[in-house]
Structure 1
Amino acid sequence: MAKGGPLTSLSLTAEDHAQLVAWSKRPKTAQGLAMRSRVVLLAAEGRSNTMIASQLSVTLHTVGKCRQRYLDLGLDGLVDEPLPGTSRKLSDQDVERVLALTLESTPADATHWSTRSLSKQTGLGRASIQRIWRAFSLAPHRSGTFKLSKDPPFLDMVVGFHTCE
């Protein structure tokens, strides 16, 4: 005996069909999105949820959910939603400010920015500075070119070394 109510017919526009085929076959598509695309394509062919679940090795609940999300929201219903949790705290302006200071200036009392000094200058946390630097592969302390230190004892040492020759 069949369970549940009758299935709502699913018809696709040409644009939706083309997009679903692209998502299901493109190698760089997230696997969840590719699977949901296949579910909707098979449902549009008139296959039952049981047949789709069996063919794609997913549960009936998954097939029903994918079908309903497409009916309710269209293609947007198939795309992964943002995961719950804390929202992004760093704005694009904060990231841009950190990058500009790191790449275009030096602190008054040092040769390069440290996470502590840049944190004090920007008001952002040290971990935030570290994440930004890591994301953009920045390491100011590993400069490929020599930078003359502005530290007065270092300058005296360099001047003293130069006069000894």
Structure 2
Amino acid sequence: MSAPAAPPLLLSDSQRATLEQLSRSQTAAHRQVQRARVLLLAADGVANTRISAEVGVTPVTVRAWRARFEEEGLAKLGQVRQGRGRKASISEEQVKAIVHDTLHTKPAGQTHWSCRTMAKHAGVSSATVQRIWHDLGIKPHRVDTFKVSNDSRFEEKLTDVVGLYLNPPAKAVVLCLDEKSQIQALDRTQASLPMIKGRGATMTHDYKRNGTTTLFAALNVLTGEVTGRCFDRHRHEEFLKFLKVIDAEVPTGQAIHVILDNYSTHKHADVQRWLTRHKRFHLHFIPTSSSWLNQVERWFRDLDVKAIRRGSFNSVPDLIAAIEDYLQANNEDPTPFVWTATAESILAKVTRARRKLTEVVNQ
């Protein structure tokens, strides 16, 4: 019969705040960070064996740290009892040096440290470096991309578009419109092998180009249905043809609010003249460098992953047929994307990003 699970550790609000700050620290002693993580998990009711596996210490250590906290609280969190436990094979000074060099230096001729290059630099094993990086959440091999919009009307455009998502107007349809240009009809140079038990499907890494097409697509924000047409090019002439398709499909009497980017085609003089004769169309432009704000971009990603990337197309008509099949399947069982972020929360995040960029530039 297994032993009963230990009860959750009782923490005050101030103790939890202190431990959460310590668990994210990149300058505190490695052992202190581990202990803070153990105590937080224990307070959440996680079993000792799971805690030991997640933090990288033994269950005996977990039980000992729990007992010590219940006895002494946080008063002696940073102190190590003499003569207890396995002696550290690396000093706290070495850990601090590894962390400092990882964050503030680069190896000669390279853009970032790896476990092996840092291990050679610091005179320790690569496993030691990996453990320190893992425990402190340091990931030199990863780079997250971003782009902060410099649009002078960013707040105005953002508020307008998010307002349509969160509070769409009555007796109107809201469409996210964009074009996915230069979709390539790629054919593999050799036949692909199907998936079998014990082995995934295979395809050659090289391919033959058989032409391209451009997909114009408009995602209905409320229903998730998509109207799409493929054209050879993506000029204002094709854009106008697609607007006429939308005009024919949307019932008379409904206003049409179209969310789209700042591509010059969307603002062409011929387009403007057509819009003056079709008063129910209202264009809403997203801020520059903010494609993430247009929901149809998310649908384009699904199209690419599910229907195009692993396909093999002998011709452009084959590619268009595959796109149309995906459109039909989507519209038979549409699922709208649910937008939850408010304009205020996005603006706060962008403000923090701009402030951080300014600090880096001024350093």
TM-score calculated relative to the size of structure 2: 0.22
Instruction: Identify the structure with the greater helix proportion.
Output: 1
Instruction: Identify the structure with the greater strand proportion.
Output: 2
TM-score calculated relative to the size of structure 1: 0.46
